[in-house]
Amino acid sequence: MDFMTALPTILKAMTMGAVPILLAALGEVFSERAGLVNIGLEGVMAIGAFVGFAVGKMTGNLWVGLLAGMAAGVLVNMLYAFCTVTLCADQVVTGMAINILAPAIALFGYNLFVGSNSANATGAQMPSIAIPGLSDIPFIGNAFFNQTLLAYLAFILVPLVRYFFKHFRAGLSFRSVGENPHAAETLGINVVRMKYVACIVCGLLTAAGGAFLTLCYTPIYTDGIVMGRGFIALATVIFGRWTALGVLGASLLFGFFDGLNVALQAQFQAAPVMFFKMIPYIFTIIALIFFGSKHAGPKANGQPYFREQR
Amino acid sequence: MAANVTRRDALSLGLAGAATVCGLSLAACGSSSSGSSDSTGSSEKSSYKVAMVISGPKNDGGWGQGHYESLKKAIDSHPKWEMLEPKENTASADAASAAQSYVDQDVDLIIAAGNEFVSAWGDVVAEAAESNPNVHFLMTNTDPATDLADYETLEKVETVQVNLKQTGALAGVVAGLMTNTGQIGFIGGMRLPTTLTKYAAYLAAAQKVNPKVEGHYNFDAGFTDASFGTNITNQWIASNNVDVMWGDASAVDNGARQALEEAGVDTHFDIAQPIDSVGSDNPSVVTSTVTDWMFGQAMDEIESGSFGNGNVIEANMDNGGVYLGSYSDKVSQEVQDKVKEYSEQIKGGSFLTDDEVDAVKNTL
Answer yes or no: do B104 and B245 share one domain: no
Report pLDDT digits (tens) over B340-356.
999 999 999 999 999 99
- Tell me the nearest-neighbour CA distance from B320 into chain A, angstroms: 23
Please name the residue of chain B whose CA is at the shortest distance from the CA of residue A265.
Answer: B218
* CATH number, residue A51: 1.10.3470
- Taken in order B56, B58, B60, B66, is the CA torsion positive or negative? positive
Residue of A nearest to B233 (CA): A266
Helix residue ranges per DSSP H, B56-91: 63-76
Based on the fold, state whether residues B218 and B357 are members of the same structural domain: yes
Of B59, B226, B231, the CB nearest to A114: B59
Bridge partners (DSSP) listed for residue B274: none
Distance from CA of B193 to the nearest CA of A (A): 16
Q: Which residues pair with B244 in a beta bridge?
A: B184, B269
- B18 vs B258, which has greater pLDDT? B258
- Residue A309 in domain: no
What is d(CA B168, CA B200) in angstroms, rounded to the nearest whole number?
A: 7
Q: How many residues can be counted in chain B? A: 364
Pairing mode, if any, of strands B322-324 and B285-291? antiparallel
Residues of B with CB under 8 A from a CB of A: 2-5, 56-61, 65, 88-89, 216-218, 220, 224-232, 234-236, 238-240, 250-251, 254-255, 258, 281-282, 364
Kindly list the distances between the CA atom of residue B224 and the CA atoms of A44, A155, A209, B328, in Å, as whole numbers in the listed order: 18, 27, 18, 26
Of B3, B218, B251, the CB nearest to A87: B3
What is the pLDDT averaged over residues B277-284?
90
Interface test with B, best of A218, A260, A267, A303 (most B CBs within 10 A): A218
| Spatial separation of the C-alpha atoms in residues B138 and B112, rounded to whole Å | 6
Q: Which of A262-276, A292-306, B9-23, B239-253 bottoms out in mean pLDDT, i.e. has the lowest?
A: B9-23
Alpha carbons A150 and A28: distance in angstroms, whole number: 19
- Decide: A26 and A92 in contact? Cβ < 8 Å: no
Both B214 and B65 in one domain: the answer is no
Distance to chain B for A298, nearest Cα, Å: 22
- Closest CB to A220 among B218, B234, B254: B254
Close Cβ partners of A81 (under 8 Å, ≥ 6 residues apart): A36, A195, A196, A199, A200
Residue of A125, A266, A307 lying closest to B239 (CB–CB): A266
Cβ contacts (< 8 Å) between B235 and chain A: which residues?
A: 6, 9-10, 13, 262-263, 266-267
Between chains, do B89 and A125 touch, taking CB under 8 Å as contact? no
Q: Residue B2 falls within a domain, yes or no? A: no
List of chain A residues whose C-beta atoms are within 8 Å of the C-beta of residue B56 = 223
Check: CB of residue A38 under 8 Å from CB of residue A210.
no
- Residue A48: inside a domain, yes or no? yes
Residues B356 and B210 in one domain: yes
How remote is the C-alpha of A33 from its chain's centroid? 15
Mean pLDDT by 10 residues, chain A (310 residues): 84 94 97 95 97 95 97 97 94 96 93 78 89 92 94 97 94 92 91 95 97 92 89 92 94 92 89 87 83 75 77
Q: Do B235 and A307 touch (CB under 8 A)?
A: no
- Residues forming beta bridges with residue B312, ordered by sequence position: B159
What tens digit of pLDDT does each residue of B195-208 get?
999 999 999 999 99
Cβ contact A245:A162 at 8 Å: yes
Count of domains for chain A: 1
- Cβ pair A262:B238 closer than 8 A: no
Contact B57 A17 (CB under 8 A): no
Q: Is residue A141 part of a domain?
A: no
| Residues ≥6 apart with Cβ < 8 Å to A292 | A238, A239
List of chain B residues whose C-beta atoms are within 8 Å of the C-beta of residue A110: 57
Assess whether the previous peptide bond of B274 is cis (omega < 30° from 0).
Answer: yes
CA of B64: which chain A residue's CA is closest? A118
* Residue A158 belongs to domain spanning: 9-119+148-296
Across the interface, whether the CB atoms of B4 and A192 are under 8 A apart is answered yes
Closest approach of B223 to chain A, Cα-based (Å): 9
Sheet holding B244-248, edge to edge: B214-218, B183-188, B244-248, B269-272, B285-291, B322-324
**A273 vs B88: CB contact, 8 Å cut-off?**
no
Q: Quick check: A263 and B235 CB within 8 A?
A: yes
Beta carbons of B329 and B107 less than 8 angstroms apart: no
Look at residue A293 in the predicted model and tell me its pLDDT: 67
Give how far the C-alpha of residue A77 lies from the chain's centroid of Cα atoms, to the nearest Å: 13
Q: B57 to chain A: nearest residue by CA?
A: A111
Provide the 10 A C-beta neighbour count for residue B207: 20
Residues of chain A with C-beta less than 8 angstroms from the C-beta of B255: 218
Residue B40 has pLDDT above 70, yes or no: no
| Cβ contact, residue pair A220, B65, below 8 Å | no
3-class DSSP string for chain A: CCHHHHHHHHHHHHHHHHHHHHHHHHHHHHHHHCCCCCCCHHHHHHHHHHHHHHHHHHHCCHHHHHHHHHHHHHHHHHHHHHHHHHCCCCHHHHHHHHHHHHHHHHHHHHHHHHCCCHHHHECCCCCEEECCCHHHCCCCHHHHHEEEHHHHHHHHHHHHHHHHHHHCHHHHHHHHHHHCHHHHHHCCCCHHHHHHHHHHHHHHHHHHHHHHHHHHHCCECCCCCCCCHHHHHHHHHHHCCCCHHHHHHHHHHHHHHHHHHHHHHHHCCCCCHHHHHHHHHHHHHHHHHHHCCHHHCCCCCCCCCCCCCC
B18 part of a folded domain: no
Residue B56 three-state SS? coil
**DSSP structural state of residue B117:** G
- B131 and B172 in a single domain? The answer is no
What is the residue range of B271's domain?
A: 164-289+332-361
Predicted pLDDT of residue B38: 40
CB contact under 8 A, A220 and B57: no
The set of residues, in sequence order, having a beta carbon less than 8 Å from that of A256 and lying 6+ positions away, is: A10, A11, A14
B230 vs A117, A217, A223: nearest CB: A217
One domain for residues B170 and B300? no
Q: Check: CB of residue A204 under 8 Å from CB of residue A44.
A: no
Residue A308 lies in a domain: no
CB contact under 8 A, B5 and A86: yes
Strand partners, B159: B139, B312
**Amino acid, single-letter form, for residue B178:** M
How many residues belong to chain A? 310
**Binning pLDDT at 50, 70 and 90, where does residue B12 land?**
low
Q: Is the pLDDT of residue B19 over 90?
A: no
User: CA-CA distance, B248 to A104, in Å (whole number)?
Assistant: 26
How close A167 comes to chain B (CA, Å)?
30
Residue B60 and residue A1: Cβ atoms within 8 Å? no
Cβ neighbours of A232 in B, within 8 Å? none
Cα separation of B190 and B207, whole Å? 24
**CB–CB contact B225 A227 (8 Å):** yes
- Inter-chain contact B4–A224, Cβ cutoff 8 Å? no
Would you say residue B229 lies in a domain?
yes
What is the CATH classification number for the domain harbouring B338? 3.40.50.2300
A266: closest chain B residue by CA: B232
Neighbours of A260 (CB within 10 A): 20
Letter for the amino acid at A134?
L
Contact list in A for residue B7 (CB cut-off 8 A) is none
CA atoms within 13 A on the CB side of B34: 5
Convert the pLDDT of each residue in B151-162 to its tens digit: 988 999 999 999
Query: What confidence category does residue B39 fall into, taking pLDDT thresholds of 50, 70 and 90?
Result: very low
Asked whether residue B41 is assigned to any structural domain, the reply reads: no
Is-contact B157 B139, C-beta < 8 A? yes
- Count CB atoms within 10 A of the CB of residue A100: 11
Structural domain count, chain B: 2
Share of chain B above pLDDT 90, in %: 64
Q: Is B14 exposed, middle or buried (0-12, 13-18, 19+ CB in 10 A)?
A: exposed
Cβ separation of A8 and B234 shorter than 8 Å? no
> Would you call B281 and A122 a contact, using CB atoms and an 8 Å cutoff?
yes
**Residue B306, burial from CB neighbour count under 10 angstroms (0-12, 13-18, 19+):** exposed
Question: Do B353 and B226 share a domain, yes or no?
Answer: yes
Give the C-alpha separation, B34 to B14, whole Å.
31
- Contact yes or no for A263 and B228 at CB 8 A: no
